[in-house]
Amino acid sequence: IIDFVNISRVAYKCVDFVQLQRMAEYSITTHKGSNPFIRAVAVCEEKNSTWKKNMEDVTIFHEGYGGKEGTSFFGVFDGFHGQISAVTASREMPVLVLEQLSKQDSLLSLEKDQVKLLSRFEALFQKDYNRPYPGQAQNIGLGLGPEQLENLTNMEQVNLAFTTAFWKMDRVLGLGKNETSKIRWSGCTALLCLIDSGLPSSDGKEQGTGQESNTPTPPQELQGGRILIANCGNVHAVLYKQGRGFRLTKDHSTSNPKERKRILQSGGAISVNKQHGLVEGLTEATRGLGHYGDRKLKKSVIPVPYSVSLPTDPSFQMLVLASSGLWEVLDEHAVAERALTVIELTQQKLIVKNLCLMQTVEDSSVSDSQGCIQSRPGSSIFDSEEPSSVKDEDNPPELDMPEPLGVQARDIQNAEETERHQSLVLQQESEVNVKGTMADSLKNLTLDYERLAADICRELVDTALVSGSRENISVMVILLHGLDKDYQSDSATIGCLRQ
């Protein structure tokens, strides 16, 4: 098995791994998580000091989102011209989204401090629209009344929830809290992800029993689970399934012809000092939050997200959420390829470890069985000591006459057959014990999902650095329950190799 260091050197065209480690300044944090659909979460944030003076990305992870068990909320905020917008959005956006989603899901609820926070902004929101439905706001442009809202499909309701939350977040950033620039305030792009495992109850109790259940719910029994994704800007989410990567987000950058057309038709400008140009000569992102102070940039970069909702599936293996620092040098296929490489190497190492362990168990069991055969008293026909004779007065001993040669050979043959039979029985018992021990060993040895998620994070960040990324890099790897299928198939392969 090739170790990760050698693989890195090959993939990075013989770049010195030690030099790469000095160049990277990232830290990795992992979470096991309590969501039954999630195995582990790892987050890696790299400033990329070669090109960036400050770290402007912010990532968030909330468990038990909205007070609902089995619901997790993730966010990646890619800052521009400072970190203030990204920090503010990471703090307020989960509340604004929850306010909208709680209208659709009765199991989601706001806490008292969250309700208090929203009440502080109510006057700000009412200033821009008089009716209680944000669809009347010009920024959203839906123009829907109460009756029309009730007739919306589930996907349309999700889209409206995220659109409203993003619009409100942009209005909050317009207050300019903590901003110091007199020319242009900061801005950010945003990527949000909500994973709802679809647990039947929110209190951790079995329905109809009133007692807590400690047994984890298998993914195939999670009914009504869903994954919600929303992005505004060039930050993306990739779903890993069956060895392939599927991007769940839209590209809101100058490389998107539709976005370029929208900006130019609205009177905006796109410079030509990069491959696809920069909006007003400043940024590649065509959608985002903030950017107050620069009227031209604010007019072109709009806070309108793209959103998608999909039901959870046992075949979903991994989600990768990342800022523009990763996606400017890697696409979803390259990310899936690098992640698959790490997963395969990890599984191969685990297979070798299991094989070595089972070989040790087998050798030990065989040695024990051989010891039992050799130590059985009187089991050998070549014992030198003869049993002592007992005198019988009624039956005096006969004369010591030698037996015919044929009789002696027959006794020796019978003894050999008896010994072979005993040895065969002991060997069969030993094989049964070895197989049982092997099965127990396979059950006890499992993947370290947190470490695997961290390894994938590290691989993606290192690859982005070597590939020439010039932005802050933030990567969030979410290992899902579908990853178990690959591991279980590899465990079955181990059994085949041993037979």
pLDDT of residue 320: 98
Which pLDDT band, with edges at 50, 70 and 90, does 80 fall under? very high
Q: What is the pLDDT of residue 486?
A: 56
Q: Which residue has the tokens 């793209």?
A: 306
What is the pLDDT confidence band of residue 126, given thresholds at 50, 70 and 90?
Answer: confident
pLDDT value at 362 more than 80: no
The confidence score (pLDDT) of residue 431 equals: 54
pLDDT, position 275: 85
In whole angstroms, what is the distance from residue 96 CA to residue 121 CA?
Answer: 11
Got the DSSP string for 424-487?
Answer: HHHHHHHHHHHHHHHHHHHHH----HHHHHHHHHHHHHHHHHHTT--S-EEEEEEEETTHHHHH
Q: Is residue 184 part of a domain?
A: yes
Q: Which two tokens stand for residue 453?
A: 């998620």
pLDDT by residue (tens digit) across 415-428?
666 666 666 655 65
The SS3 call for residue 20 is helix
Task: Tell me what pLDDT residue 149 has.
Answer: 65
Report the mean per-residue pLDDT for the chain.
77
Contact in structure between 280 and 268 (CB atoms under 8 Å): yes
Is residue 384's pLDDT more than 90? no
Residue 90 confidence (pLDDT): 98
Q: What percentage of the chain has pLDDT greater than the value 90?
A: 52
- Residue 143: which CATH number? 3.60.40.10
pLDDT band of residue 19 (cuts 50, 70, 90) is very low
**Is position 389 within any domain?**
no
Tally: H helices and E strands in the chain: 13, 12
Residue 90 has a CB neighbour count (10 Å cut-off) of: 20
Residue 228 has pLDDT above 70, yes or no: yes
- In 3D, which of 449, 441, 382 has the Cα closest to residue 416? 382
String of DSSP letters for 117-154: HHHHHHHHHHTT-SSS-GGGSTTT-----HHHHHT--H
- In whole angstroms, give the CA distance from residue 295 to residue 138: 17
In a domain, 415, yes or no: no
Q: Is the pLDDT of residue 380 over 60?
A: no
Q: Cβ(317)–Cβ(227) under 8 Å?
A: no
Position 381 pLDDT exceeds 50: no
Task: Tell me which residue of 23, 43, 79 sits closest to 465, measured CA to CA.
Answer: 23
Q: What is the pLDDT of residue 410?
A: 55
In a domain, 402, yes or no: no
The C-alpha atoms of residue 458 and residue 42 are separated, in whole angstroms, by 10
Least confident range from 128-142, 240-254, 307-321, 451-465: namely: 128-142
Q: Read off φ and ψ for residue 373, nearest 5 degrees.
A: -65, -45
For residue 414, pLDDT beyond 70: no
Give the residue-averaged pLDDT of 133-144: 43
Backbone angles phi, psi at 401, to 5 degrees: -105, 135
Enclosing domain of residue 178: 26-204+221-252+287-335+471-498
pTM of the shown model: 0.74
> Can you read off the two tokens belonging to residue 150?
């009730």
Most confident of 2-6, 119-123, 149-153, 378-382: 119-123
CA quadruple 22, 26, 27, 31: dihedral sign: negative
Q: What is the pLDDT of residues 20-52, one digit of tens each?
A: 444 456 789 999 878 999 999 999 999 999 999
Q: Is the pLDDT reported for residue 11 higher than 60?
A: no
Check whether 441 has a pLDDT greater than 60.
no
Of the listed ranges 200-209, 226-235, 434-443, the least confidently predicted one is 200-209
| pLDDT tens column, 453-465 | 999 999 999 999 9
Check if the beta carbon of residue 225 is closer than 8 Å to that of residue 312. Answer: yes
- What pLDDT is recorded for position 206? 40
**pLDDT higher for 77 or 387?**
77
Sign, CA torsion 458/464/470/476: negative
Residue 6 lies in a domain: no
Inform me whether the pLDDT recorded for 257 exceeds 90.
yes
Residue 6 C-beta-side C-alpha neighbours within 13 Å: 4
Domain-embedded: residue 272: no
- Does residue 8 sit within a domain? no
Of 154 and 74, the one with more pLDDT:
74
- The structural domain count of the chain equals 1
- C-alpha of 200 from chain center: 23
Please indicate, yes or no, if residue 259 is contained in any of the structural domains: no
| pLDDT, position 148 | 65
Minimum mean pLDDT range among 92-106, 184-198, 222-236: 222-236
DSSP letter string over 60-78?
EEEESGGG-TTEEEEEEEE
CA distances from 274 to 267, 269, 281 (A): 20, 14, 9
Q: Quick one: residue 178, left, alpha or beta (phi over 0 = left, psi -120 to 50 = alpha)?
A: left
| DSSP for 310-377, written as a single string | EE--TT--EEEEE-HHHHTT--HHHHHHHHHHHHHHHHHHHHHHHHHHHHHHHHHHHHHHHHHHHHST
